[in-house]
Amino acid sequence: MLSSIIVIPCYNEEQRLQGETFLRYVASSQSTRLLFVNDGSTDGTSDVLRHLAEQAPQAIDVCDLPQNGGKAEAVRQGLLAALTTDAECLGFLDADLASPLESIPLFLDVFQRRPDIDVVIGSRLPLLGRHIHRNAKRQILGRLFASVASQVLWTPVRDTQCGAKMFRNSSLLRTALSRPFLARWIFDVELLARMKQLRQSQGDRPLDEVVFEQPLDEWYEVAGSKLRLRDFARAPWELVQIYFRYLSPWAEVANADVFPMPLIRPFERIPAAHHPGRKTA
């Protein structure tokens, strides 16, 4: 199985974190490590995360951002940090595990079988045999948004906002993450737009040829989500910004030579000789 680091952004998740679930998963997986990014939480999230890391230091690490910057920046900083390791695949999941940890091996299997695929996106399709439980209103709004976002990207993504995504560790991904996101909540779309722009500028295969949508076996709406209906109302303006910044004829392509050092460094307390996923000098 390919090695992977999964970034899990956390902001005031003390009451929702399923610590035992995370510990059971890493105990059964030799190839996946979890990087929790504490995004300036004001409750006891930091203590809960530190306790998890103490119980599984080889597989779980916690990095604290100096202040709350929002989910988009927490994910970006986590992925930038993961890029400093030799993990072959990097991804992110929501802390509430609406997308279960069992989706990770499904994604890794796609990368293993399909060397032509660079991005795997979870899709909450209510297919027979799956257990997909979503709020009806959010499901309708989400489907409408995904349809519009697909038109902006010129890439027919069925579910842009599922909180489970994974990428191959690559220089293109590093460049795509080099700047903070414009969008606060639809940064997933912005990241895809950046990757599409970079692939076009470098003459690589189109984005829709390297993205694989993986239907999830399970997905459950978890109470306490920080996403509000007003965020859907703000999404159209963010889509407009994304188009003009990255996909319009006059959009400026990011400098591929720029790679800012992440604010956080994962698994530093573990000697490199005992941690095969860590880059050494």
* Strands laid side by side in the 165-168 sheet: 60-64, 32-38, 4-10, 89-92, 165-168, 119-123, 211-215
Task: Give domain status of residue 281, yes or no.
Answer: no
**Distance in angstroms (rounded) separating the CA atoms of residues 48 and 17:** 8
Task: Give domain status of residue 211, yes or no.
Answer: yes
Task: Give domain status of residue 41, yes or no.
Answer: yes
- pLDDT, position 265: 73
Task: Give domain status of residue 176, yes or no.
Answer: yes
pLDDT tens figures, 244-277: 999 998 888 877 666 667 776 777 655 444 443 4
Q: Considering the chain, what percentage of its residues have pLDDT values greater than 90?
A: 64
CATH number at residue 92: 3.90.550.10
Instruction: Report the number of distinct structural domains present in the chain.
Output: 1
Boundaries of domain holding 174 = 4-256+264-274
Task: Give domain status of residue 279, yes or no.
Answer: no
Task: Give domain status of residue 36, yes or no.
Answer: yes
Task: Give domain status of residue 280, yes or no.
Answer: no
Strand pairing class (218-220; 119-123): unpaired
**Mean pLDDT, range 217-222, rounded to an integer:** 86
Q: Considering the chain, what percentage of its residues have pLDDT values greater than 70?
A: 89
Task: Give domain status of residue 251, yes or no.
Answer: yes
- pLDDT, position 279: 40
